[in-house]
Structure 1
Amino acid sequence: MPTFAASPGSSTTWRWLRRALWLLLGLMLALVLLVLFFPWDLLRGPVNRYVSEKTGRAFEITRRLDVKPGWRQATVMLDGLTFANPGWARSPHLVRAERAEIDVRLWPLLTGQVDLPRIALAAPELGLQMEADGRRTWALGKSDSGEGGSGTVPRIGLLQVDRGALDFLAPPYGVDIQAGFDFDSARGAMPLHFEMKGRYQGQPLQAKGRTGHVLQIDAVGAPPFPLEIRARAGATRLNAEGRVGSLSTLDGIEATFDLRGRTLGDLYKLLGVALPETPPYAVQGQLRKNGQRWDAAALKGRLGLSDIAGDLAFEQGGTRPRLSGELQSKLMDMDDLGPLIGLQPSARSARAVKLEDIPPPVTQEQAQRRRTDGKVLPTAPLDFERLRAMDADVRYTAQRIRNVREVPLERGSVHVKLKDAVLSLDPLDLGVAGGSFKGSIRIDGSSRPADIRASLDMRGLQLARLLPALESSGNSVGRLDGRLNIAGRGESVATWLGASSGDVALLMGSGQFGNLLPVFATLVGGDVIKFLARGDRDVQLRCAALAFDIQKGLMNSRTLVLDTSNAIFQAEGSINLASEQLDLVIRPEPKSPSILSVRTPLTVKGTLGDPRPGVEAAPLIARAAAVVAGASINPLLALAATLEPGPGKDADCAALRADANKPASAAARQGAARAKAIR
């Protein structure tokens, strides 16, 4: 078998290849050794000059530079570090620290991305600032003016500090705070304590708490860090403890919280959540955040005298944030509803929740005493900014409503919807005096003044429960039905009512009640004598109708009649909702003859806040003159002057109801039609 010897040329080639490989391996080994043992501090000066030139601000490693290289990541160790802020910033330094360790991913640097998985700082002083035009002191770039703030933003994973200070200014977000840190490893899982003060959204801010040694800024997959905080912003207090996944987005929050303050309305400026005005509150619950969604679950607490419970969700993103959820009260107190319509909380409601170090709110009673116009309708303007700030879909149910100020509300539920600056309470369902009060209210805040409409129906209200003075007699019965349909424009409850048009009507069928009220209302002396001698008797109610046309805030009587078995009451007049002036005249007419009568028309003058009942003096003066003149001739003639012939006649109840159900003026009809259109 033949054999082949290697040619001289091929042997030479293989020898050169082996030598080249060994040379390459040697160079690589030398490079590795050079990197491992390179005196990196020699590069401190060039690095200082390079970074300063690239960012446009002074950068200096003051004592020593060292590097622990790796294949994918290197750790840069700086002994003494100062890095200036751009000239427009308040704080002179972005960071100044005794020591720093910075992990840098190498491959992202090829694309211009600065990726820092970990930063450890010893005794740092940080100066962070954001401006409305997008400038940030931690943006590493050089603008045309030679200042930083418009370049690459480093991506920071974990931040580790021991002690130090932070100055953070962000005018677009209403943030101006200074914080101090203190580290002690003997404190267990949360060795880092912090305290901060400053202002947030125009409110003075104070906070303190503790957290873990390592804070997750933007690291993916890193474990959440524990956090406890006690904060006070203006008249709002927050105590919370739990854990946070990421500081940059606040994702991964799982915490329990205790929130209390003077009104939930304050949270709009602090958190951007447009909640209604309330009396002082204290609410506890569980808070979670995932992406753009915040969940406040297992809520439990008090709003003034009322308890509150339920779940809420707040979703950010999209055109506007959206609040949704369901809330319930076992007992809702009427006093707590005042702030919803622009009134201050009552004194009893304001005292129900104790707030340490928070001045109590101005009470309804104090506010009324301070008003110089003598009016009572709420003048607090609608907050159009809040109506446009977010959407909402929240259901609320009160199992029982406490009887306050003689209003026998028993239960209630409402579906609150806010969409594109249009707020609707639909349906609104209240249990009142054994009956129901149902309907809708809509406030269209897309333009100013707001288009406000209310359409409400009353069914089956029991007269005795509506008027406790009658209920106490034990023998008063009767059913009351009615409606309210009004529409207009305004920027408060007062200006809306003062400009609204529509229809109001109350209707009652047959019933009965004790005769004390009609006896004294008709001032018939004979019936008074019989009442005193025989005691209370049932007086039959045949029917009643009270109806007003409302035209641009002026309520003109359409039908005002109360027909009983012994008298008929007919009234007329007006109520001016703009000036709150009352001008009503009630004419009682007994249906049977009697003696010792001093009957005369009754008047109601004054204002809604200060009604002044009285009598028309002329008929009384004329009858008194007749008594005096008759007595001068013969005492029997004086008695004859008090005789009551009984001119009252039974009313046509069917006609009364028909008149009460038909608005008389065109303006009232149009206003009522606009109101009913929302249902």
Structure 2
Amino acid sequence: MRLALKIMGGIVAALLVLIVVAIGALTLVDLNRFKGQIESFAGDLLGRQVQIAGLDVDWSLSPLIHVQGLRIANAEWGQAPFLLDVQDLRARIELLPLVRGHTILPEVSVVAPQASLERNAEGQDNWTLGGETTQTVADEAAVPEDRTELPIVGDLRIQDAAITFSDAGQGVTIPVRLASVEGAAGGPQDMTLTAAGSISEKPFTLGFRGGSADALLAGDEAYPIALEVRLAQTEFSARGGLVQPMSLTGFDLTTRVAGPSASDLTLTPRFPLPDTPPYSLTGQFRFENALWQFIDFAGTFGNSDLRGTAAADLNGEKPLIKAELVSNRLDMADFQPLIGASEEQREATGRVFPDKPLPVEGLDAIDADVRFRGEDIQIPALPMERVETHVVLQDGRAEMRPFSLEAAGGSLNGELAVNTRDEPMSVDAQLTVDSLQLRQLLQGTPVAEDMGGLLQGQLYILASGNSVHQLASTANGHVAAAMTDGRLSGLVVKALGLDVPRTLGFLLTEDESLDLRCLVGGIRLTDGTANLDTMLIDTQGSTVQAQGSVDLGEETMALSLQGRSKESALRLNSPIYVEGSFLDPSIGVGLGIIIPSIEWDAVPDAPCGQTISNVMAMRSQGQE
């Protein structure tokens, strides 16, 4: 907004120069005879060449100034020929109020204005006009210290406006087209403004209603406004009061924003916003003394909801964001597009882990302290009943400590640190799982009632990368998991195929389910490769051990399982192989031939307790 005001300030300064010259001229004199001198004087004032095709003044105490073909040259390095090119400009000004220091323009009409706002790769902009003295005057004209100094425009009409903003350093170009802008102000009547056009070829409309011009100039109370904006299919509204309308040093607004997707607000391919579920957010938006507050907000994001209070304090060296957030339901599927995870991504790349860069750019520019509590967190295969965490972001390093949640009758507790100061960024994660009930974990599935067992485990991962795929490809650490007194549903056993349970020596119950004494897994992660240090399945009728590895970067696996029956001297010794990609694995029995052999030695029960203890000690051993 300040940018637009500075530009308008320069234009108003040029108009005032024309007015001063016009007042000193005789009414019968054709001002076009002095057009060259006026162009030169205005050019010296603005520091740019100024061209005027035609100039006329209809003299009275409220003279009407008519300018045709007004052009202000661009900076020498600019790409467009002109900073501003106006086909036709008409402005009426009240002379007597100027004596009291008030600028009143009863009518302003602008036809086909074209503005090219540019910033080059060195950061220079083309809208800074004139030298230091001129710029100081322009700044004071653009942002008055006192509301009573604000210029009042009575009837405003702008037709066929075109504004283009380009930033060479960022590779960004945003075109704005306004087919019509109409406004009215003055006296006791409410001020109104409407606009219609497009931004980056997306349809755009604006409707504004404010208090009267008298209320704006009063300067004692907040100035009331109501604003409605629509860009493409996204809607924004604000109602409330502005303490200082021009400098925006304080306001208190009730706001609402709603749209079908964040991508609806993408204005340039250089900075695309992700496809997201429909969203809606309302709350009280306040600003005072460099403190921004979003109070008692509530909204939805797809199937998720969020409420709370947030604040951004701009008084320090960098912004400090503090927030207290609560969600009754958080569906993590709503947030998959933010990390690039989707069915479309998997089909296009053939990968489970997305390569899309994670949205962490700019985190070193802010600090944050955020507390979050969720009552119902929906994650595939892990419905969470309650989660609490505290996130602290300082100098580009984010720590989630502690992180605790309740799920499936058990709990998960851990810590997470993300350091964006490293390139690529680094991630350090620790997680402990305690007493998850398998039946509750699978609640709502056809197999839930026939499943049983308690899960425990731990995870420690250290990785680096700017996407989920890169992080998986560089992961180091370990994963340990165990289940005791478990039971696998007959539906799960059948899904393995006829040969697999028989080859592994499983003895099935009458309903073809499988009782487990224990299931234990110990995985060592080295540079993105998960090696099975320990994999044991012990049932009443057999003991199964597995070996192999999983390449998280290539998303492939090569595993083999060997079972020994406890009940029969006739052993079926062909291994089971699990191979292929994550998206298309294959399960096979040896070479397709089951080779029997006779072993007279009894196969004892596996030492489940000792094996679990050894696996759970992997972390301390790995850190010594």
1:614 has 2:583 as partner: no
Of 487-496 and 467-476, deviating more is 467-476
Aligned ranges for residues 74-93 of structure 1 at < 5 Å? Answer: 77-80=62-65, 82=67, 86-88=72-74, 89-92=82-85
Specify the alignment match of 2:361 in structure 1: 385
SS of residue paired to 2:479 = strand
1:561 has 2:536 as partner: yes
Deviation at 1:485, TM superposition (A): 0.6
Q: 1:366 aligns with which of 322, 340, 344?
A: 344
SS of residue paired to 2:439 = helix
Q: 2:412 aligns with which of 428, 437, 445?
A: 437
Listed one character per residue, the Cα deviations across residues 190-240 of structure 1 (whole Å, up to 9, x for unaligned) are 4523214353xx68461221323649999954651423222216x744233
Listed one character per residue, the Cα deviations across residues 354-392 of structure 1 (whole Å, up to 9, x for unaligned) are xxxxxxxxxx22222222xx2211211134533234333
TM-score normalised according to structure 1 size: 0.69
Specify the alignment match of 1:9 in structure 2: none
1:408 has 2:400 as partner: no
Distance in 2 (alpha carbons) for counterparts of 1:277 and 1:419: 29
Q: 1:659 aligns with which of 610, 614, 620?
A: 614
Listed one character per residue, the Cα deviations across residues 588-617 of structure 1 (whole Å, up to 9, x for unaligned) are 22211277x866322211112222122112
Distance in 1 (alpha carbons) for counterparts of 2:240 and 2:272: 25
Q: Residues 318, 119 of structure 1: CA spacing in aligned structure 2 closer, same or farther, 3 A cutoff?
A: farther
Residue identity (%): 23
Distance in 2 (alpha carbons) for counterparts of 1:278 and 1:425: 24
More strand by share: 2
Q: 1:309 aligns with which of 298, 307, 310?
A: 307
Listed one character per residue, the Cα deviations across residues 60-104 of structure 1 (whole Å, up to 9, x for unaligned) are 98425677xxxxxxxxx5431549564224323599333023787
Q: How many residues align?
A: 558
Aligned ranges for residues 96-245 of structure 1 at < 5 Å? Answer: 96-101=89-94, 117-125=102-110, 132=119, 141=130, 152-155=138-141, 156=144, 157-161=149-153, 162-165=155-158, 171=166, 177-179=176-178, 180-183=180-183, 190=190, 192-199=192-199, 204=202, 206-212=204-210, 214=213, 221=220, 223-232=222-231, 236-245=234-243
Distance in 1 (alpha carbons) for counterparts of 2:564 and 2:428: 38
1:462 has 2:454 as partner: no
Q: 1:253 aligns with which of 251, 254, 258?
A: 251
1:493 has 2:468 as partner: yes
Distance in 2 (alpha carbons) for counterparts of 1:572 and 1:525: 14
Aligned ranges for residues 630-669 of structure 1 at < 5 Å? Answer: 647-663=602-618, 669=622
Distance in 2 (alpha carbons) for counterparts of 1:515 and 1:572: 25
Q: 1:327 aligns with which of 325, 328, 333?
A: 325
Deviation at 1:423, TM superposition (A): 2.7
Q: Specify every segment of 5 or more residues in structure 1 that has no aligned partner in the other structure, as ranges.
A: 1-38, 68-76, 108-115, 344-363, 624-640, 674-679
1:425 has 2:404 as partner: no
AA in 1 matched with 2:353: L
- Judge conservation of contact 2:391–2:400 (CA < 8 Å) in 1: yes
Listed one character per residue, the Cα deviations across residues 620-671 of structure 1 (whole Å, up to 9, x for unaligned) are 1x44xxxxxxxxxxxxxxxxx8x8868532112343124313449x9x935x
Listed one character per residue, the Cα deviations across residues 424-453 of structure 1 (whole Å, up to 9, x for unaligned) are 333222322221122122221113211122
- Judge conservation of contact 1:407–1:466 (CA < 8 Å) in 2: yes
- Judge conservation of contact 1:486–1:500 (CA < 8 Å) in 2: yes
AA in 1 matched with 2:152: Q
AA in 2 matched with 1:224: Y
Specify the alignment match of 1:347 in structure 2: none
- Judge conservation of contact 1:501–1:550 (CA < 8 Å) in 2: yes
**Structure exhibiting the larger radius of gyration computed from Cα positions:** 1
Q: Residues 51, 79 of structure 1: CA spacing in aligned structure 2 closer, same or farther, 3 A cutoff?
A: farther
Listed one character per residue, the Cα deviations across residues 501-539 of structure 1 (whole Å, up to 9, x for unaligned) are 1111002344556678679753179976x844xx56883
Listed one character per residue, the Cα deviations across residues 97-119 of structure 1 (whole Å, up to 9, x for unaligned) are 33023787879xxxxxxxx6544
Q: 1:448 aligns with which of 407, 410, 423?
A: 423
1:55 has 2:8 as partner: no
Listed one character per residue, the Cα deviations across residues 28-68 of structure 1 (whole Å, up to 9, x for unaligned) are xxxxxxxxxxx96657879985964762657998425677x
Distance in 1 (alpha carbons) for counterparts of 2:517 and 2:462: 33
- Judge conservation of contact 2:483–2:518 (CA < 8 Å) in 1: yes
Q: Residues 531, 64 of structure 1: CA spacing in aligned structure 2 closer, same or farther, 3 A cutoff?
A: closer
Distance in 1 (alpha carbons) for counterparts of 2:316 and 2:274: 22
Distance in 2 (alpha carbons) for counterparts of 1:618 and 1:183: 82
Q: Residues 243, 198 of structure 1: CA spacing in aligned structure 2 closer, same or farther, 3 A cutoff?
A: farther
Q: Specify every segment of 5 or more residues in structure 2 that has no aligned partner in the other structure, as ranges.
A: 1-21, 75-81
SS of residue paired to 1:669 = helix
- Judge conservation of contact 2:564–2:572 (CA < 8 Å) in 1: no
Distance in 2 (alpha carbons) for counterparts of 1:167 and 1:219: 34
- Judge conservation of contact 1:124–1:163 (CA < 8 Å) in 2: yes
Distance in 2 (alpha carbons) for counterparts of 1:599 and 1:461: 34
Of 404-413 and 427-436, deviating more is 404-413
- Judge conservation of contact 1:328–1:397 (CA < 8 Å) in 2: yes
Distance in 2 (alpha carbons) for counterparts of 1:408 and 1:122: 63
Of 407-416 and 478-487, deviating more is 407-416
Specify the alignment match of 1:593 in structure 2: 568
AA in 2 matched with 1:585: S
TM-score normalised according to structure 2 size: 0.75
Of 118-127 and 215-224, deviating more is 215-224
More helix by share: 1
AA in 2 matched with 1:55: L
Specify the alignment match of 2:370 in structure 1: 394
